[in-house]
Chains A and B, each alone.
Chain A
Amino acid sequence: MNKLIFSSCLIFLIFNVYAQEYKPIQLDAIQGRHIGPAITSGRITDIELHPNKSNIVFVGTAGGGVWKSSDAGLNFSPVFDEYCQSIGTIAIDPINPDGVVWVGTGETWTRNSTSVGCGIFKSEDGGVKWKNMGLENTERISSIHISRKDPNVLFVGVLGALWGDSKERGVYKTINGGKSWKKILFINERTGCSDLIVDPRDENIMYASFWEFRRQPWSFVSGGESSALYKTIDGGQHWKKIQNGFPKGDLGRIAIAYAPSQPDRLYAVVEAKKRAGMYRSDDAGEHWRFMNGDFALTVRPFYFARIAVDPIDPDVVIKAGLMGAISRDGGATFKPMGGFHSDLHDIVFNPKYPDMIYIGTDGGVYRSLNKGGSYDFVDNIPVGQFYQISIDDATPFNVYGGLQDNGSWFAPSEALDGGVSARKWTGVGYGDGFRVFKHKTRPIIYSEMQSGEGVWRYNMKYGDIKVVKPYSGPNDPKLRFNWNGALALSPNHPDRLYIGSQFLHVSEDRGDTWRKLSGDLTTNDPAKLKQDNSGGLSLDNSGAENHCTIFTIEESPLNDKVIWVGTDDGNLQLTRDGGKTWTNLVDNIPGLPPHIWCYQVLASKFEEGTAYVVYDGHTLNDKKPYLYKTTDFGRHWRALATEDIKTFLRSVAEDVHNPNVLYVGSEMGLYITLDGGAHWQRIKKNVPPVAIHAIVQDPKTGALVLGTHGRGVIILDDIGLVQQLTDEVRQEDVHFFDTSPFIMHEKSAFYTGGNDRTSFVGSNPRHDAKIAYYLKKRHLFGKMNLTVFDMNDKEIVKLTPLKSKGLNIVYWNYRMKAPKVAKGKTFVFNSLTAPRVKAGRYKLVLTKGKKRYEKEIEVKYDPRSNYSKEDRSIQYEKTMKLYDMQQELAFLVYEIDAYRDYYAALPQEKKAPLQVLEQKMKELHDRLVVTKGDNYVGQAEPQLREKLSKLYGDIANYFGRPTGEQLNNLNKLEATFTKSQSIWKGLSSKFDGILSKNQWESVKIRSYEAYLKA
């Protein structure tokens, strides 16, 4: 008895715990739709080739995960979509290269916009499945070496954190395949392993370059006294510096490589104040001599530090760089490379056929078959990094945005001729692109280049491109624009444009004249105005470290006098009088660390005093999410980010209809809350954990549009459905969602693809009826059916219901079943078309075991079409007429076959009285369906079935009135059919008469209805 009570208590306890815990809802029916762009790719960080099979290529990207090709780079597929998307390095196991692949995450080309990693991963099946093998907090993994003798032994170089100190840096070793790791070389918390290579003859000999570096939001420092090149000859037990011949003083980033054909030949590119450039050793690092200090070798060491040596010729060496450079004399002289996108990060030679090389750039992967003589671009790795996006109010809407080093673009969110192909994207800016907007009423697009270097106004109608940026006035200090300059439109005044430097500037005439709307809204901290000196040993004054700038500007859609401004140094400023007075609200925000980046402020569409703000602390080494909401113009703020959100945030959007539904873009994926921020969950299906820098929603369709920093634009067309997932709904076994009337899409186009068939094509949204329902539990046993009926309970079509726990969406293309057609020698492909239903109400019936659930839906014709009611009516009527005629013809042919089979089965002596009739039946049959030929060039002359089918296809596949010719043709075929039926009636009754007279068994014929059902 006591035990029973105890057990009951236990169960009650368990129950209670569960009752309090928020359970995420299964939302995989909400899927991301990727539209590219494919016209450009994105930053590639590392390329790895299979040692024996030329067709296997792995590509790591800065923000778009890992991609694999099995056909030597013709086609790539993403293979790492469940994990963080910033990749440092990839290694293939030399013992089991078909199976084991390792990925070290976290890009090591440490630009301002780089993301972070999430550890080291292993696949044992060539990249299909991955498992985290630790090192989760290392942030950036530069090198992986897998032992050539024992696949459980690995050496890993960890560069580590970019924005702060870290104990995780160094060289690690595992002897158990990653179950545990031992740090075998650590220098200090500022200095990480930027490269690790292992002698191919003796794994005890390793070279590790260490780099002291630090990025702050306002400055980057490369180099210091701790940077060095180390060597071990005892497998990492002891290390010594090998710099005999290197420049004196502080060093920066050191790239290192050996010549595979002659491993004592080492190349190093050394960053230093003086005599920076390429060094060579021919005695395994004991002595070095300076070879070359060309610009191509020394440019931006933090961004370009890869050396590749020809696997056969030790004198052929390539250094990554702005365009890269190749030496054919052992590093003495270099020839600039070119013919591809600038900013070359990695180069790999095919180990057996070194004329074949792959390179990875800021703009994607290129292949060369003549060792860099010429290249072709891989056009199916859409890993563009959007900094910002926007949409317009066109139907379908267009998406605008700017990409890291790949300019500014716009494209339609769908395209009739098969999808959003590369050619659908229109370029509207150079350089790094950021914020791009379409003018609300005029054919104008605004775009910008990094750090306010260019603000363009592009009038597409006149082909007029004008620079419209503000300049500093006579009494102004130098204007400071962020790398990702804060350009914004007014939601209330179409011609109004804002841009933020340290001041807020406004133009009422589309950028022709500007006035300052504020004083300096930043902290204007002199300690953070160091762009001119940024870079460390190598000056790097690119504008990327411009700080104390305005980063986000938002005019309230409800009041043009209310403007919110956030700055990269932490301020959040508000004016409620159109810029006359400003209030810094940052001190009102509880729990906010000082001076972290105000990444986005969003004014609510619902309440004037309501706003949301996203802060990002990762550039001060704080990766927590910060999201706040105010409802009183910033006097009070409530934190909305919970532990459900795993990393730092970049963006927020408020649902267009429901203020309790919010979306946030984190550095690793999209989160949604349905309860105003109390709980969050990730939307995962086809939305990898990629950095999401911007989120906008189309108010017309509810589609959510994500500007990702690594996977281009991702659109979630069906996100609106989640709002119906209330607690009440979640208690039901089955719940049909309410849906707006479905519009039957009536647009067609010819497919325009051609020789770009390997190119990525963004998918279109589905225009089918989306039948959405919730299942409390997965349906696994017994029947479950979903059928569409008309309102007279006539069955239209049986669909295949999905059975997942949570939200399910089943698509219906508004069509019934295709007609049953007469059996002939060949096929009539037009008859595969099923007629489309008429607009109106339809009933869905879902049966699950013995239970039945019903829901009505409405379908409408496309209001954008120009077909009249009468046109549609006649189209439907004639389609159904041909549909019925085909089925009746099918029955007629079935009858003839049955009679002729009957005849064929008769004994010879009984055949005589029926012989002539049977012959006539055959003649009739042969006029009704083809009885010879094939389905290609051997096809026979079309008979009635084929003619009906063709006409049916022509009429049924159109949406409006058939042509007069088609109607005439229909009359003609109908007359032929009626005549054939009459002939058949005569023949069959004579046949039946003979059988009856002789008292022979009659021919067995199913009824028309039974025949159709069979």
Chain B
Amino acid sequence: MKNVLLVLLLFAGIGAFGQNVDEILNHYFENTGGKDNWKKVKGVKSIGVMKMQGMEIPFEGYQSTNGEMLQEADFQGKKMIFLAFDGKVAWGVNFMTMKAEKKDNEMVENLKKQVKDVPSPFLDYKEKGYLVSLDGEKEIDGTPTYRVKLEKDSIKIDGKMIPSVEYYYFDKENYVPIMKESSIPVGPMAGQKAETYFGNYQEAGDLFMPYEMTSKMNGNVVQSMVMNKFEINPEFDTSVLKFPEEDAKSPEEKPVKMQGAGK
């Protein structure tokens, strides 16, 4: 047994020097449930709490490989759909009027491109046309990591196509990302780095997923998402994603049904 341990130890040491990006990603998928299980994922529902500025807001999210997306929060007992997307039309409820309003066309075009990121942008990344490369090594808060550069399809911001580049920092010991970094494309903070930290990796069906995601700007926590539950391939009633027509009732009066919802 000791022998085995020794061999493993030495192997781990050697392995660390000659990594290429596909090896890192293979380890990642292997350590988080195996590629086969990842490929079985058609939809993911996340149920948890969003923490920001001292507030705790229960939320539910859904994303599918068909491009469907739902982000819904429970605000003072009322369900508020921030984003619903059926693959063609995206909308959300206006906080002032509490009525559904369509999202702008750029956002819709960009959302369409996000379909490929479900359940992971790294899964079959070559077929998706993504570029992935090992961009060096870096310590993140004292933890040695591999920096993996992910170049996705360009997105459109304020009428201009801009490259969509993200850096993932994979923990060298466990090969799971502990941080994602991107630069803010627009607004007064344009060019500043936005960081999302992943933590509390736990089982989610046959996979391992981060149950906590914390966003930071300039080292300060902006918000945290703490999951209570992930559901893999849940039943999902897509009719909720349909934009409520003008004469229809405002969406909060329409009961929103999500199978297996936490409430």
Q: Which A residues are closer than 8 A to B by beta carbons?
A: 4, 7, 11, 25-26, 28, 31, 68-71, 74-75, 77, 79, 98-99, 125-129, 685-686, 758, 778-784, 800, 802-806, 811, 813, 815, 817-818, 820-828, 831-832, 834, 890, 934-936, 938, 1014
**Residue in A7, A70, A784, A826 whose beta carbon sits within 8 Å of that of B191 in the complex:** A70
Contact with A along B168-200 (1 / 0, CB 8 A): 000100101010000100101111110001011
In the complex, the answer to whether B163 meets A99 with C-beta atoms within 8 Å is yes
Instruction: Indicate if the CB atoms of B202 and A936 lie closer than 8 Å.
Output: no
| Contact stretch, chosen from B111-119, B218-226, B236-244 | B218-226
Q: Are B97 and A936 in contact (CB under 8 A)?
A: yes
Q: Which of B3, B171, B199, B218 contacts A686 (CB 8 A)?
A: B218
Task: Establish whether residues A822 and B77, one from each chain, have CB atoms under 8 Å apart when the complex forms.
Answer: yes
Give the residue name and chain of the B residue nearest to A79 (CB): B191
Cβ-based interface call for B96 (8 A): yes
Interface size on B, residues (CB 8 A): 53
A128-B193 CB under 8 A given contacts A98-B163, A778-B142, A804-B142? yes
CB distance from A890 to the nearest CB of B (A): 7
- Expressed in whole angstroms, the minimum distance between the Cβ of B169 and any Cβ of chain A is 11
Check if B135 is an interface residue, CB within 8 A of chain A.
yes
- Interchain CB contact under 8 A, B211 and A783: yes
Asked whether, in the complex, the Cβ of A823 is within 8 Å of the Cβ of B78, the reply is: yes
Q: Does B212 contact A (CB under 8 A)?
A: yes
Interface residues of B in 221-263 (CB under 8 A from A): 221, 224, 226, 263
Report A-chain residues with C-beta under 8 Å of the C-beta of B197. 803
Contact between A804 and B51, CB atoms less than 8 A apart = no
Whether the pair A780, B176 counts as a contact (CB closer than 8 A) is: yes
Q: Which residue of chain B has its CB nearest to the CB of A31? A: B219
A780 contacts B174, C-beta separation under 8 Å:
yes
- Cβ-based interface call for B95 (8 A): yes
Task: Contact check, B141 vs A783: say whether CB atoms are below 8 A apart.
Answer: no
Using known A-B contacts A128-B191, A782-B200, determine if residue A800 contacts B224 with beta carbons closer than 8 Å: yes
Which B-chain residue is minimally distant from A937 (CB atoms)? B96
**Residue from B76, B142, B208 in contact with A26 in the complex, judged by beta carbons closer than 8 Å:** B142
- With known contacts A806-B142, A935-B98, A936-B96, A781–B202 Cβ distance under 8 A: yes
Cβ of B1 under 8 Å from chain A: no
For residue A823, which residues in chain B have a CB less than 8 angstroms away from its CB? 76-78
- B190 contacts A71, CB within 8 Å? yes
Smallest beta-carbon distance A179→chain B, Å? 15
Q: Interface code B73-90, partner A: CB below 8 Å = 1, 0 otherwise?
A: 001111000000000000
**5 interchain residue pairs of minimum CB distance:** A26-B142, A823-B77, A804-B141, A805-B142, A70-B190
- Residues in B with CB closer than 8 Å to A779 are 199-200
Instruction: List the A residue with the shortest CB-CB distance to B143.
Output: A778
Q: Which of B3, B51, B56, B186 has the most CB of A within 10 A?
A: B56
A396 CA to B200 CA, complexed, in Å = 39
Q: Given contacts A129-B135, A779-B199, A780-B178, could you give 12 more A-B pairs where the C-beta distance is less than 8 Å?
A: A77-B189, A780-B171, A781-B208, A783-B200, A784-B200, A802-B221, A811-B221, A823-B76, A823-B78, A824-B77, A826-B98, A935-B98
Report chain B residues within 8 Å CB of A25. 142
A934 touches B142 (CB 8 A): no
With the chains together, A779 CA to B214 CA distance in Å?
Answer: 14
Q: How far is the CA of A823 from the CA of B165 in the complex (A)?
A: 42
Distance of B24 from chain A, by nearest CB (Å):
16
Which residue of the partner chain B has the closest CB to A817?
B56
Select from chain B the residue with minimum beta-carbon distance to A819: B76
In the complex, A781→B204 CA distance in Å?
Answer: 12
Residues of A within 8 A of B183 (CB): 125-126, 128
Contact with A along B2-36 (1 / 0, CB 8 A): 01001001100000000000000000000000000
> How far does the Cβ of A841 sit from chain B's closest Cβ, in whole Å?
22
Determine if B202 and A806 form an interchain contact, defined as CB atoms under 8 angstroms apart: no
Which listed residue, A26, A28, A824, touches B219 by the CB 8 Å rule? Answer: A28
- The minimal Cβ–Cβ distance linking B29 to chain A, given in whole angstroms, is 16
Given the known interface contacts A28-B141, A125-B183, A890-B77, the answer about A803 and B199 at a Cβ–Cβ threshold of 8 Å is yes
Q: Could you tell me the distance between the alpha carbons of A805 and B171 in the complex, rounded to whole angstroms?
A: 12
In the assembled complex, which residues on chain B have CB atoms less than 8 Å from the CB atom of A938? 97
Q: How far is the CB of A789 from chain B (nearest CB, A)?
A: 17
Q: Determine the chain A residues whose CB is within 8 A of the CB of B77 once the complex forms.
A: 820-824, 890
Bound-state CA distance A780–B197 (Å) is 10
Given contacts A7-B6, A26-B141, A800-B226, contact A778 B163 (CB under 8 A): no
Determine whether the beta carbon of A800 is less than 8 Å from that of B51.
Answer: yes
Q: Do A127 and B191 touch (CB < 8 A)?
A: yes
Across the interface, name the chain A residue whose C-beta is closest to B165: A125
Contact of B135 with A686 in the complex, beta carbons under 8 Å: no
B76 to chain A, nearest CB (A): 5
- For A782, give the chain B residue with the smallest CB separation: B202
Residues in chain B near residue A800, CB distance under 8 A: 51, 212, 214, 221, 224, 226
25 example contacts (A-B, Cβ-Cβ < 8 A) are as follows A25-B142, A28-B141, A28-B219, A31-B220, A71-B190, A75-B188, A686-B218, A780-B199, A781-B174, A782-B200, A783-B200, A784-B200, A800-B212, A800-B226, A803-B197, A805-B141, A811-B221, A823-B77, A824-B77, A824-B78, A827-B75, A827-B76, A935-B96, A935-B98, A1014-B263
- Choose from B9, B141, B193 the contact partner of A778 (Cβ within 8 Å): B141
Bound Cα distance A779, B173 (Å): 12
Q: Which residue of A lies closest to B188 (CB)?
A: A75
User: What CA separation (Å) do A802 and B215 show in the bound complex?
Assistant: 11
Give the docked Cα–Cα distance between A824 and B75 (Å).
Answer: 11
A831 touches B176 (CB 8 A): no
Q: How far is the CA of A817 from the CA of B54 in the complex (A)?
A: 8
In whole angstroms, what is the CA distance A821 to B77 when docked? 7
Q: Which residues of B contact A26 (CB under 8 A)?
A: 139, 141-142
How many angstroms from the CA of A207 to the CA of B171 in the assembled complex? Answer: 49
The minimal Cβ–Cβ distance linking A190 to chain B, given in whole angstroms, is 38
What is the CA–CA distance of A934 and B211 in the complex, to the nearest angstrom? 35
Bound together, the chains give a CA A712 to CA B201 distance in angstroms of 41
A431 to B56, CA, bound (A): 52
B3 touches A4 (CB 8 A): yes
CB proximity of A800 to chain B, nearest CB, Å: 4
The residue in A11, A74, A805, A817 that gathers the most chain B C-beta atoms within 10 A of its C-beta is A805
Q: When each residue 128-172 of chain B gets 1 if its CB lies under 8 Å from chain A and 0 otherwise, what string results?
A: 000000010001011100000000000000000011010100010
Taking a contact as CB atoms closer than 8 A, the residue among B76, B97, B192, B193 that contacts A831 in the complex is B76
The distance in angstroms between the C-alpha atoms of A934 and B94, with both chains bound, is: 10
Give chain B residues whose Cβ lies under 8 Å from the Cβ of A936: 96-97
Residues of A within 8 A of B178 (CB): 778, 780
Tell me whether B55 and A129 are in contact (CB under 8 A).
Answer: no
Inter-chain contact B55/A832, CB cutoff 8 Å: yes
Report Cα–Cα, A29/B197, bound state, in Å.
14
Determine which of A75, A781, A834 lies in contact with B201 in the assembled complex, contact meaning CB atoms within 8 Å: A781
Chain A residues near B142 (CB-CB < 8 A): 25-26, 28, 778, 804-806
Q: In the complex the two chains form, is A75's CB within 8 Å of B56's CB?
A: no
Contacts of B199 in A (CB 8 A): 779-780, 784, 803
Residue of B nearest to A832 (CB): B55
